[in-house]
Amino acid sequence: MKRFFCVLSVFLMMTACAKTTYRTMSMEGMPADAPVQTIKLLAKNCEWTPNKVTVNQGSHVILEVESGDDSYYNFILKHYKLMFNIPAKETVTAEFYAADAGEYEFGCYVETGRKYVWGGMVGKLIVAAK
């Protein structure tokens, strides 16, 4: 009986993980001549450095997100539909088109079923209007 529950638990975890869609690009509507801005973020000791970044509206943003310690992090920027994992001591590159001016939260999330909640590491992306 114990083995049955163990196998069932593994199956349910695999099924839940399979439903998560990871995405490192969001380029809808980007013109070919969009100016490029590169932003570097460091996740270390459960903090983002910097925790506030500004880009210009209409930019092709290249986001380089690094885990600066032995911790595994994840990243979500809901407005631009970016979501990905950052393995320990590695860097993940993501790209998006900053089409909409405004202030948006990004952060490390905790997956609770089909809902994502902030895991304590929250930063702010400011897309400055043209």
Instruction: Enumerate residues 6+ apart whose C-beta is below 8 A from 52.
Output: 123, 124, 126
- pLDDT grade for 14, boundaries at 50, 70 and 90: very low
Share of the chain above pLDDT 70, in %: 77
Where is pLDDT greater, at 110 or 30? 30
Q: Please give the structure tokens belonging to residue 57.
A: 């509206």
Average pLDDT of the chain to the nearest whole number? 83
Superfamily the domain 22-128 falls into: Cupredoxins -  blue copper proteins (2.60.40.420)
DSSP 9-75: HHHHHHHHHHH---B-EE-TT--TTPPEEEEEEEEETTEEESSEEEEETT-EEEEEEEE-SS--EEE
Evaluate if residue 7 carries a pLDDT over 50. no
Q: Tell which residue, 65, 68, 87, 88, has the closest CA to residue 77.
A: 65
Backbone φ and ψ of 30, nearest 5°: -75, 125
pTM (two decimals): 0.78
In this structure, the chain runs to a length of 130
Neighbours of 96 (CB within 10 A): 24
